[in-house]
Chains A and B, each alone.
Chain A
Amino acid sequence: MFVLIVLIVFIIACGFGASLKTRASAFIGALGPTAALAAAPVVYGVIRRGETLTLENLMPFPFEYCRFEFGVEDAVFMIPLLIVGFTVALFGICLKKPEHAVMQPHFWFFLNITYAGMMILLIAGSVTLYIIGWEIMSWAGFFLICTYYKRKEVRDAGIIYFVTGHLMFLLILIAVFMFDYKATVYPSIIFLAVLAGFGSRAGLVPFHVWLPEAQPAAPGHVSALLAGVMCNMGIYLVWHFTGIEMKQVGIAPAWWGYCLLGAGAASALYGAIMALSQHDLRRLLAYSVIETTGVIFMGIGLGYLAEHYGYGDLKALLFLGCALHIINHAVCKSLLFMSAGVIINQTEVSDMNLLGGVWKRLPVAGIGLVLGCAAAAGLPPLNGFIGEFLLFNGCVAGLQAEHGGIQIASIVMLSVLGLSSGLMIVCFTKLAGMTVMGEARCKAVENCVQSNTALQYPLLILMVLSVASGVAMPFFITVPEALWKLSLCMALLIALAAGLLGLRRLLPGAKRDIAGRAWEGGCQPESGRLQYSGSSYVQPMTSFLKLLLRFRWNYRQSEKIFPEKTELSTGEDDVILEYVYRPFFRLLYGGCMKMRWFQGGLLSRYILYIVLILLFLLVWKL
C-alpha cells in the first residue's frame, strides 16, 4: 500500500517537475507513468492472492478519516492504467511535432496529474477521496483534451466535455453525500445518480455526448488514455458504488440489474450503429468505445440479477468476463487510437473518405490499425474475443437458469451481443479497409512519408500485448479450464496460418509471383477517388437503418442552364446531442439571460439582497 501512495506522490512530483520549462521536462514527465510500472508486482500479488490492502487513520479528513483500500477489483482496473499509461508516456516522448512542442511542459504536467488522479481513485477507500480523485482526473483531463487549444473545434469539444462533466458531477455530489449521510435512506436515488454521473464518463447512452466530441479533438495518445483508462474509471466507479450500495441495502431490488442491462444494451446498439456511419477516424473509434462500455454494463447488470436471484456461479462467470473484456479492450482500443494518432499526425487527414493506402506509407501504424481492428471486432485469435466469449457463455448459463427474469435478460443480452458483434465487423472492416488498404484518396496522403520512426515503439508494445494476452493468458492468471483450451485453439490458429503462409513459398509458382495491375473489372481507375468510399461501403446498412439515424444529405444543385460546380456532402448527427442536449442548453441559456437583470453590478443592490434574505429568515423563524 505504501508503495502505491509513494508512487502517487512521485507522479505528482514528476508533473510539477515537468511543468518547469526545462529541456528535460518531457523526460521528467514521462518518468511518472513509467515509474508507476513498479506497482505491477503489487497488483499481481493482490490478484493472485485475492487479498485487500488497507491503510486507515493516516490523517483526519472532512466527514471521516482518510482510508485507503486496494482490492482485487481495484487491481483489475489498475492493469489497463499501467499498460496504457506507460505507452501513452512513451508515445508522448516520441512525438516531434513543433506544434506539440509548444505545449510540452503543460502537457506533461496535466498528463501526470490525470494519472495521479486515476491512481487515487483506485486506492481510495473513503468517499471524500473518491471525490478528490475524480475531480483531479476530470479537470486535468480537460486540459489534456484541449492540448491543441488554438483550434476552435478543440475548444468547443473541451467545453462540451467540461459542461457535461460538471452537470454529471452535480449528480455525483448528490449521490456521494447521500451515501455518506446514510446509504440506506434513498438507495434507488443514489443508484440512479451513480449510474448517470459516473456512467457519463464511461460513455453510457444518453450521457455519452462528450466522448465523440472530445476524442477527435485530443491528440492521439490522449484519446488512447481517454478510451483505455478514463472510460474504464467510469465503469469502475459505477461497479464499485453499486456494489457497496447493494451490500448496505442487503438485498438490492431486481430492477437495478434490469436498469444496468437496459442501459448497457442501449449503449451497445447505439454505439455500434452510430459508429457505422462516421467519417472521422477517431469519432468512429469513440462510438465503438461506447459500444464496448455497453457490453460491459450488460454483463454487470446480468451479474447483479444473477446475484439477486441466487446464482453465484453465473455472477462469477459474468464478472470475470467483464474484467477480461475491460483489460483486453483497453489494450486494443488504445492501440487503435494510437495508430490513428500516428496516421493523423503524419498525414494531417482524419477523414476516412480521404485516407487510404496508409499501409504502404506508414507500415507499422497500418499493421497496428489492422491488428487492433481484428482484436476490437472480437475475432479469434486476438485478445478482444476472450471477454466476449465469457459473456456469451454467461448468456447461455443465464438461459439455463430456472428463472424467467434472468432468461429474458439473457435473451436480450445474447441478441444485442450477436448484433453488435456483426456490426463491429462492419465498422472495423470499414475503418481498417478505408484507412489502411487500397490507394490514397487525396494528395496529402499520397505524398506522406514516415518522418518519425520512433512512434512505432509504443504501437509495437501494444500489438505484442494484443496477440500475447489472447494466447498466453492462462500463464498469468488462474483461469477455468475452458479458457485454457480457448487459448490453445487461438495459438493453434496462429500456428496454422503461419505454417500455411510458410508452405505457400514452397509452391512451384511462388517464384513467378508478380505485382502487376489488378484486373479491376476491365476499367482502369485513374485516381484513388474512384475507389469505394467509407460512406458507400456502409450504404446498404445506413439505408436499412434510416429510421434510427438522422442522415444529413446536403446537395447543392446548380440552378443555371449550364452545369457548374455542385457539391454533395453527407453526414451523421448524434441524435441525442442534436435533439436533446442542444435544445436543453438553448433553453437554459435563454432562461439564464432573462435572469441577467438580477445581477446588476451595484454593491448597494447586493447589500439589499442580503438584507432582504435576512429579513425573510427572521420572518420565517417567527
Chain B
Amino acid sequence: MSTGVIVLLGNVLTALLLAPLVWGMGGKVRDWFEGRRGPRVTQLYYDIFKELRKSANYSSATLVFRIAPVMGFCSLVLAAGLMPAGGAASWLGFAGDLFLLAALLNVGRFWMALGALDTGVSGNAMGASRDVYYGVMVTPALFLVLAVLAVVSGGMTLNGMFAVDTAYRFGCRIMVVLALLLIYLAESARMPFEDPDSRYAAAMVKQGMARDYSGPEYGLVLYAGALKSWLFASILVLAALPVMSALPLYLYWPALFAGVSLVVMGGGVLETILGRLPMPNVPQYLLLGYGSALLALIFWLYG
C-alpha cells in the first residue's frame, strides 16, 4: 500500500475513533474546574451508540431533514481524508486541496441549516439563522488563513502548507494561530460563542439546529460535532507546530492526538473563565479572526 493510501486511511480512522474521546476530555476538564463529577470521558461513544439503535421521529419533515446530517458527516470524513500526515500527502491530495477542505467544512452548515428549517419550528430556525450568521464571519477568515499558510509555503497543497521547512516569521505565526483559534472556538460551538451545556433554547446555536433530530440522525449530528472540533483543532496544531510533519507516521498520530487533546482541553479551560458573548458582540470577535489572518498576510508580505 502506498504512503498516500495509508495517510488517507490513518487520518480517517484516527478522526473517527478518537474524536468523541477528545470531545469528552474537553468536557471533563470543564467539569473538573467547576468542581463536579460530570459524565465519563467516553460518554459520547455511548450516546452515539445509543442513538444509532433507536428509531427516529421525522415529524412532518422532508428528505432533506434526513440527508442533512449525512451530508454534514460525510463532508467531514472526506475533509479528514484530505489532511496530510507526517509530511506525506494523502492519496486524495492535489494542488489546491486546501480550498476543497475549506469548502467541505462549509457543506455541513448549508445542509444543517436547511434541515433545521425543515420541521418549521421557530427555535430551530433561530439556531440556523445564527449559525449561518457566524458562518458569514468565519468563512472569509478561514479562506484567508489557509491562503496565508499556502502563500508562506510557496505551494498550493495542504501537505506543503504544514511542512517543517516553512520558516515563517514569528509575528505571522502568532497571527495565524490566533485566527485559527477563534475559528476553532466558533466552529466547534465552544464557549465565547455558544454554551455547549445550555438547555435554554434562546441561547442555542448549533444545538438549536439539532433540536428536532432523534435516533440515528441525532447520533450523526453529535458525531459530526466531535469530528468538526477534531478537524479544526488538528489544523490549529499543524499550523502552530510544523515539527509535526517531520514525525514518522507511527509517531505522528499519537502526537496529533496529544496536540488535539491539549487544544480541546485548553478550550475547556477557556470555557470556565469566559462567559457567553452577547449576540451583538459576536461579529466583532469573529472579525478579529479575519483581521488577524489579514495581519499575518501583511506580516509575511511586507514584514
Contacts and interface: CB of A to CB of B under 8 A. Distances in A.
Interface string B155-171: 01000000000000000
Interface stretch (B90-98, B190-198, B266-274): B90-98
Interface stretch (B37-45, B71-79, B252-260): B71-79
Contacts of A517: 57, 59
Contact of A389 (B73, B93, B103, B297): B103
A392 to B, nearest CB: 4
A425 B147 contact: no
A516 B59 contact: yes
B95 A393 contact: yes
A439 B93 CA distance: 42
Given A366-B62, A392-B96, A513-B58, A378 B140 contact: no
A380 B74 CA distance: 11
A411 interface: yes
B103 A380 contact: yes
A15 to B, nearest CB: 41
B151 A496 contact: no
Interface string A508-537: 111111111111110001001011100011
A395 B138 contact: no
A423 B70 contact: no
A379 interface: yes
B120 to A, nearest CB: 4
A356 to B, nearest CB: 7
A519 B212 CA distance: 6
Contact of A514 (B58, B62, B73, B133): B58
A396 B201 CA distance: 41
Contacts of B66: 501, 504
Among A380, A433, A521, find the residue whose CB has the most chain B CB atoms closer than 10 A: A433
Interface residues of B, number: 81
B55 interface: yes
A414 interface: yes
B283 A544 contact: yes
A436 B111 CA distance: 13
Nearest to B108: A379
Contacts of B100: 380, 389, 486, 489
Contact of B143 (A392, A407, A541): A392
B126 interface: yes
From A380, A428, A489, name the one whose CB has the most chain B CB atoms within 10 angstroms. A489
Given A400-B154, A486-B100, A531 B120 contact: yes
A544 B297 CA distance: 26
A510 B217 CA distance: 11
Contacts of A426: 132-133, 135-136
B77 to A, nearest CB: 6
A25 interface: no
Q: Considering residues B55, B66, B138, B211, which has the most beta carbons from chain A within 10 angstroms of its beta carbon?
A: B55
Contacts of B54: 509
Interface string B103-115: 1101101110110
Contact of A429 (B53, B92, B99, B132): B132
A525 B133 contact: no
A504 B69 CA distance: 12
B112 to A, nearest CB: 9
Contacts of A482: 94-96
A514 B301 CA distance: 58
Contacts of B290: 415
A510 B59 contact: no
A215 B160 CA distance: 46
Contacts of B139: 418-419, 421-422, 425
A99 interface: no
A532 B140 contact: no
Contact of B58 (A422, A429, A515): A515
Interface in A591-614: none
B242 interface: no
Contacts of A356: 120
Contacts of A390: 96
A540 B133 contact: yes
Contacts of B279: 540
Interface string A400-439: 1000000100010011011101110110110011101111
Nearest to B95: A482
A83 interface: no
A517 B290 CA distance: 42
B150 A396 contact: yes
Contacts of A392: 96, 99, 143, 147
Interface in A330-362: 356-357, 359-360
A518 B78 contact: no
Contact of A396 (B129, B151, B283): B151
A520 B94 CA distance: 45
A509 B301 contact: no
A119 interface: no
A436 B67 CA distance: 15
Given A389-B96, A482-B94, A504 B216 contact: yes
Contacts of A357: 120
Interface in A471-518: 480-482, 484-486, 488-489, 492-493, 496-497, 500-501, 504, 507-518
B55 A510 contact: yes
A585 B76 CA distance: 53
B9 interface: no
Nearest to A382: B107
Interface in B172-226: 201, 211-212, 215-216
A267 B140 CA distance: 17
Contacts of B2: none
Given A370-B114, A393-B95, A489-B82, A418 B144 contact: yes
A209 interface: no
Contact of B57 (A370, A514, A531): A514
Given A433-B114, A433-B128, A518-B60, A489 B120 contact: no
Contacts of A374: 110-111
Given A414-B144, A521-B211, A540-B279, A512 B55 contact: yes
A385 B75 CA distance: 14
28 contacts: A359-B64, A370-B64, A380-B104, A392-B143, A392-B147, A393-B95, A411-B294, A414-B144, A421-B143, A422-B137, A425-B113, A425-B132, A429-B117, A437-B64, A437-B120, A482-B95, A493-B78, A497-B67, A497-B74, A507-B52, A511-B55, A513-B55, A513-B56, A518-B120, A525-B121, A532-B117, A540-B130, A544-B133
* 9 closest Cβ pairs, A-B complex: A418-B140, A532-B125, A433-B117, A422-B139, A438-B120, A512-B55, A485-B94, A518-B59, A509-B55
Given A396-B150, A485-B97, A509-B216, 15 more contacts: A374-B110, A392-B96, A393-B95, A399-B301, A414-B147, A422-B137, A433-B117, A437-B114, A481-B94, A482-B94, A486-B100, A513-B55, A516-B57, A517-B57, A541-B136
